[in-house]
Amino acid sequence: MSDTTRVGILGGTFDPIHLGHLEAASAARDALSLERVLLLPSRTPPHRSMEPRASVYHRFAMTAIAANSCDGMHASDRELRRDAPSYTALTLEALNQEGLAPSQLFFIIGADAFAEIGTWYDYPRLLTLANFAVVSRPGAACTRAAPIPDPQTPISGSPLTSILLVDAPTPNVSSTDIRRRVASGESIERLVPPGVAEHIRRHRLYLPAPVPAVL
C-alpha cells in the first residue's frame, strides 16, 4: 500500500443508509482527493439509547447496495463483527495497526455530530488517530476556510493530523424520517438510493408490527 494513500471512513448506524450519508462522503472524497471511502455500519452505537430497527445483516446489505451506486465507496463489516460497542477510537486504532498511518485516514463526520466530539470515547486522543473531515449539515455549516492537504504532497512523513472543514451542501435527510415515512406508507424516493428502497420494500423493513387479532 502506498504511503500516500488517502482513505475516508464514514461510520454510522445506517438504519437505513441514505443520500445524506452518501453526499457527505462524496463531498469529502472530492475535496480531499480520497482514493476510497469505507462505509462502516456500527453494531452497537454507543451514543444511541435505542437498538437499531433493522438487523446487522440488513444494515450491511443496504450499505453494500449504496456503496455499489457510488464511485470509490466500499462497505465494510469491520464494526459489525465486533461484539463490543462500536467505538471510533478502536476502529481507527485497528486501521493504524494494519498499516494505515493516522495522516492517511480521514474520518468523515457531520458538523452537527462533531459538535459532540468531546463526549466520545477516548477523546481527545481520538483526534490523533486520523484526520477529521467535518462536513456541513443543514443548520450546521462550516463557515471558515480549512487547510486542505495538497494531493501531490506525501503525507506519510508527518505524524500530525488535522481537522479539515468541508463546506458543501448536503440534503436534509434523516434515517428517523425515512423509517417514519416507510411506516406510514409515504414515498422515500430521492431519500435513499433506488436499490436501498427496493431492499426495504422487499424485506418489509420498518413497517409497524402487526396488531394481534382479537378472538
Handedness of CA 110, 170, 72, 70 (dihedral sign): positive
Check whether 86 has a pLDDT greater than 70.
Answer: yes
Instruction: Please name which of 95, 86, 94 lies closest in space to residue 121, comparing C-alpha atoms.
Output: 86
**Mean pLDDT confidence for 172-176:** 95
Alpha-carbon distance of 183 to 186, in angstroms, equals: 8
pTM of the predicted protein model: 0.87
Strand duo 131-135 + 36-41: pairing: unpaired
**Mean pLDDT confidence for 80-94:** 89
Alpha-carbon distance of 88 to 129, in angstroms, equals: 10
pLDDT value at residue 100 = 94
Q: How many CB atoms lie within 10 A of CB 4?
A: 15
Instruction: Give 112-165 pLDDT, tens digit per residue.
Output: 899 899 999 999 999 999 999 999 987 776 654 344 344 333 334 445 799 999
pLDDT value at residue 138 = 79
Question: What torsion, rounded to 10 degrees, do the Cα atoms 201, 204, 206, 211 define?
Answer: 140
Name the residue type at position 51.
Answer: E
> H-type helices in 13-168, by residue range?
19-32, 56-68, 88-97, 111-114
Which residue is listed with cell 414515498? Answer: 187
Instruction: Give 6-33 pLDDT, tens digit per residue.
Output: 999 999 999 999 999 999 999 999 999 9
Q: What are 135's three cell numbers?
A: 462536513
Q: What are 37's three cell numbers?
A: 471511502
With bands split at pLDDT 50, 70 and 90, how would you rate the model's confidence at 178? very high
With bands split at pLDDT 50, 70 and 90, how would you rate the model's confidence at 47? low
Would you tell me which CATH number, out of the four given (3.40.50.620, 3.30.1490.100, 3.40.50.1100, 3.40.50.20), belongs to the domain 7-149+157-202?
A: 3.40.50.620
